[in-house]
Amino acid sequence: MPTVQLDTPIEFVKGVGPQRADFLRAELGIHTAGDLIEHVPFRYEDRSRFVQVAEIQSDAAAIQLQGVITKVAEVPSKRGKRIVAQFQDATGALELVWFKGGRWIVAQLPVNQQVVVFGKPARFGGKWNIAHPEVERLDTFQTRKGLGLQPVYSTTEKLTNRGLSSAGIARLIRTVLGQNQFEIPETLPPHLLAELQMPSRDAAFRTVHSPPDAPTADKARNRLKFEELLYLQLLLVRKKQVATVGQPGVRFTAVGERFNAFYSDHLPFELTGAQKRVMREIRADTNTGWHMNRLLQGDVGSGKTVVSLLTALLAIDNGFQACVMAPTEILATQHYLGFKELLAQMDVRVELLTGSVKTADRKPILEGLASGEVHILVGTHALIEPGVKFKALGLAVIDEQHRFGVQQRAKLWAKGKPPPHVLVMTATPIPRTLAMTAYGDLDVSVIDELPPGRKPIRTVHRTDAARLRVQQFIADEIALGRQVYVVYPLIEESATLDHKDLMDGYESLSRRFPVPDYRLSIVHGRMRPEDKELEMRRFAEGQAQILVATTVIEVGVNVPNASVMVIESAERFGLAQLHQLRGRVGRGAEQSYCILMTKDELSKDAALRMETMCRTNDGFEIAEVDLQLRGPGDLMGTQQSGVPDLKMADLMRDREVLTAARYIASRVLEEDPGLEQPQHAILNRELKRVAAGRPDWSRIS
Ligand code: ADP
Ligand code: MG
């Protein structure tokens, strides 16, 4: 048989063939010999120890036996056939049992030969047996070197039934790696390997599939993780270079009259240190002549809005317009009203454009945009419609970015020529490691300081038993002049039931808090936008003391007088959402509270979420726990997030490797932006290969 190379189709690997190849492709996505080699073990078993049948005491852990299979039989049973093999060593006998995979197993079991058996023992009818053990001839077992750690590969039932259990996969991999003169090509430059003291790619894969001990396995694995992350970071760092240096942007050279007038006369508070720092970063960025693509992260209530307003004034002072896009109508309206109020004394025209602005009212707005008389346009998706044309758009602010798709951002980008500077604001704190990857091509600013005088929100977890006391607490707070949110989950899959819960909750609150002493507002997705507006406004203006709502209030709404957030069925919310919701209170000077109502019995994850919420107010800490619970893909919502599919590395666990990869990628591209130097030839070649296989997801994330 000719030597198998990495790109050899999997069916030509000895021991595979067309039928198993179909299953390897369908079940594990293994198309080539290279894919097989990249199917690395997910754990190892220590196979250096043997026990004897007479010594078996517990069914707690898998054990390894050595002996002979004396007999194999197919035994009919109610639920199909079982395979039962008699196994024997010097001290006793037990049965090996298979419930599935008949023909393959019978054909493969070596009878009357010395075998090694590995599996988890179970006690049945006073005797020990092992279900679905791994069985291997002693001589093949002994030819494997090391015999320290045995790799365990992920596989599926279908593959197992065709002889490709973990051990079967191990056999295939050994076949490929064991060929004469077979070598896996190198993908990293020798000088980097030497600098980082990493093994060659070939050595790394061989070690990972058959390590002498755990530390050596880790080292080999880190080399492979590093490689994966390095190419990802090279891609991102290079995109960032292209997106900034080399992408002409509008230039805000001057800090002008409006900015200064607002800053000194109309800003109702002193900026926090973090806000000032971010403003300096933005000013520097927008004055380079290159394009700004900046992500502004700041916990709920950290004061991102005023940063966007100041940046807008900077744009206006330099003869440009600005737009602010928000994900919901309520939030857009709130921004609009907030801007109007802050800019009341100033000669700045702000307009609001949402889906519910009527055609007749649209006309003057659109005309004002085209003539340049409208300075700031606030709105929803309506902003990106083709009919919306600016005279000179210099800044696009996107609030709560994770709600917007990449395509929508691209449309916004196309509304200026050259494209406007982009400031993306998010209140979902993203752990640094993730930001480095998901937003590796954006510059990141962080507001890591809350405005002074805020009291940390007190969070408690309560169940139904405490409902009356919770209601009393609400009544007490209202008596002090405060307002209260009561939020219900609304999940699409259970929308009807959820809606009923909300309505029932509203009813019972209405009975406990009756008019005329109390007023309740209610907001949910089935209401007309005008009605929602009205209800929201009654609450925002203090006419209603309690707002009962679904998650529509999740993003952005600002009612500083609200001091209590009650979250019903809190176990059904994710951590990021809970934190967002809690951020709706604690905005004024009063002590604020968050009450998480759940049922009695909670899953382990839900309990950890509640515990985390009660323990900390720190959005970054919460995001870390969230990342652990959900994994990066989920955390970011959709694929659009740009969190790549990683084969080897794990963004949560492999931070050190990620940081090293980021550092090396930046260093290399700084020295040699085009990767043209001879020692980088290999990086250049591989990067092209990696880039070709990847969608262009990071252009404007
Ligand atoms: P977020 O970052 O969640 O969007 P906002 O911009 O809505 O936060 O700000 C929350 C509240 O804090 C607003 O009422 C805002 O006026 C106020 N605020 C912002 N910056 C400061 C500051 N430096 N000092 C005092 N209050 C501030
Ligand atoms: Mg906000």
Span from the CA of 305 to the centroid of ligand 2 (angstroms): 6
For every residue of 428-477, which 3-state class applies, written as one string?
CCCCHHHHHHHCCCCEEEEECCCCCCCCCCEEEEEEHHHHHHHHHHHHHH
Tell me the DSSP string of 29-55: ---BHHHHHH---SEEEE-S----GGG
Q: Whose CA is nearest to atom 24 of ligand 1?
A: 451
Q: Tell me the residue range of the domain where 52 lies.
A: 46-148
Q: Which of 517, 483, 513 is nearest to 590 (CA)?
A: 483
C-alpha radius of gyration, the chain, whole number: 32
Mean pLDDT of the region 315-321:
96
Cβ pair 303, 451 in contact under 8 A = yes
What is residue 252's three-state secondary structure?
Answer: coil
Query: Among all chains, which residue has been given the structure tokens 């070690």?
Result: 207
What is residue 105's three-state secondary structure?
Answer: helix
DSSP 378: E
Same domain assignment for residues 143 and 178: no
Angstrom distance (rounded) from CA 75 to CA 82:
5
**Is residue 471, in this structure, part of any structural domain at all?**
yes
Mean pLDDT of the region 412-436:
77
Span from the CA of 425 to the centroid of ligand 2 (angstroms): 8
Mean pLDDT of the region 532-559:
82
Q: Ion ligand 2 — residues with CB under 5 Å? A: 556
Same domain assignment for residues 499 and 369: no
Q: Say if ligand 1 is within 6 A of residue 586 CB.
A: no
Number of the ligand closest to the Cα of 273: 1
Number of the ligand closest to the Cα of 331: 2
Q: Whose CA is nearest to atom 27 of ligand 1?
A: 451
At 114, which helix (H) or strand (E)? strand 114-119
Q: What's 98's domain CATH number?
A: 2.40.50.140
Same domain assignment for residues 521 and 605: yes
Confidence of residue 418 (pLDDT cuts 50, 70, 90): confident
**Is residue 351, in this structure, part of any structural domain at all?**
yes
Q: What's 548's domain CATH number?
A: 3.40.50.300
**Is residue 534, in this structure, part of any structural domain at all?**
yes
Mean pLDDT of the region 126-155:
83
CA 599 to chain centroid, in Å, comes to 27
* pLDDT per residue as tens digits for the range 339-363: 999 999 999 999 999 988 999 999 9
Mutate-to-test residue for ligand 1 from 306, 448, 455, highest number of ligand atoms within 8 A of CB: 306
Mean of the per-residue pLDDT values of the chain = 87
- Predicted model pTM: 0.62
pLDDT, residue 174, reads 93
What are the structure tokens assigned to 525, written together? 């997705």
DSSP 260: H
Angstrom distance (rounded) from CA 94 to CA 53:
7
**Distances, alpha carbon 232 to alpha carbons 35, 49, 656, in Å:** 19, 41, 15
How many Cα atoms are found within 13 Å in the side-chain-facing hemisphere of 193?
Answer: 18
**Is residue 338, in this structure, part of any structural domain at all?**
yes
Same domain assignment for residues 288 and 401: yes
pLDDT, residue 143, reads 79
Same domain assignment for residues 4 and 68: no
**Is residue 672, in this structure, part of any structural domain at all?**
no
Angstrom distance (rounded) from CA 524 to CA 486:
12
Confidence of residue 438 (pLDDT cuts 50, 70, 90): low
In this structure, the strands spanning 546-549 and 483-487 are: parallel
Beta bridge partners of 461: 596
Q: Which of 667, 659, 701, 696 is nearest to 683 (CA)?
A: 667
At 119, which helix (H) or strand (E)? strand 114-119
Same domain assignment for residues 9 and 85: no
CB under 8 Å to 558, separation ≥6 — which residues? Answer: 334, 338, 587
**Is residue 604, in this structure, part of any structural domain at all?**
yes
Of the residues 550, 581, 616, which one is the last residue of a structural domain? Answer: 616
CB under 8 Å to 377, separation ≥6 — which residues? Answer: 321, 322, 323, 324, 350, 351, 352, 353, 365, 369, 383, 388, 390
Mean pLDDT of the region 542-556:
79
Tell me how many domains the chain contains.
4
* pLDDT per residue as tens digits for the range 78-126: 777 888 999 999 999 999 998 876 677 777 889 999 999 999 899 888 8
**Is residue 527, in this structure, part of any structural domain at all?**
yes
Mutate-to-test residue for ligand 1 from 277, 302, 309, 398, highest number of ligand atoms within 8 A of CB: 302
Same domain assignment for residues 491 and 388: no
Span from the CA of 476 to the centroid of ligand 2 (angstroms): 29
Of the residues 148, 167, 196, which one is the last residue of a structural domain? Answer: 148
* Closest ligand 1 atom, residue 307 Cα: 6
What are the structure tokens assigned to 152, written together? 């365990």
Cβ pair 211, 68 in contact under 8 A = no
When comparing pLDDT for 623 and 641, which is higher? 623
How many Cα atoms are found within 13 Å in the side-chain-facing hemisphere of 328?
Answer: 17
pLDDT, residue 641, reads 40
What are the structure tokens assigned to 635, written together? 């955390």
Same domain assignment for residues 291 and 413: yes
Same domain assignment for residues 176 and 287: no
Beta bridge partners of 69: 87
Q: Say if ligand 1 is within 6 A of residue 451 CB.
A: yes
pLDDT, residue 246, reads 59
Span from the CA of 412 to the centroid of ligand 1 (angstroms): 26
Angstrom distance (rounded) from CA 372 to CA 391:
5
DSSP 186: P
Same domain assignment for residues 337 and 410: yes
At 635, which helix (H) or strand (E)? helix 619-635
* Closest ligand 1 atom, residue 587 Cα: 11
- Contacts of 676-680 with C-beta under 8 Å, sequence gap 24+, read 679/189, 679/191, 680/189
What are the structure tokens assigned to 690, written together? 């990696």
In this structure, the strands spanning 350-353 and 149-152 are: unpaired
pLDDT, residue 638, reads 35
Confidence of residue 511 (pLDDT cuts 50, 70, 90): very high
Same domain assignment for residues 515 and 578: yes
Amino acid occupying residue 521: S
Q: Which of 657, 651, 658, 668 is nearest to 192 (CA)?
A: 668
**Is residue 621, in this structure, part of any structural domain at all?**
no
Mean pLDDT of the region 550-574:
83
Q: Which range is least confidently modeled, 376-380, 391-395, 630-634, 697-701?
A: 697-701
Mean pLDDT of the region 280-288:
91
Span from the CA of 560 to the centroid of ligand 1 (angstroms): 10
Same domain assignment for residues 478 and 604: yes
Angstrom distance (rounded) from CA 73 to CA 64:
22
Q: Say if ligand 1 is within 6 A of residue 199 CB.
A: no
Of the residues 557, 582, 616, which one is the last residue of a structural domain? Answer: 616
Q: Whose CA is nearest to atom 10 of ligand 1?
A: 301
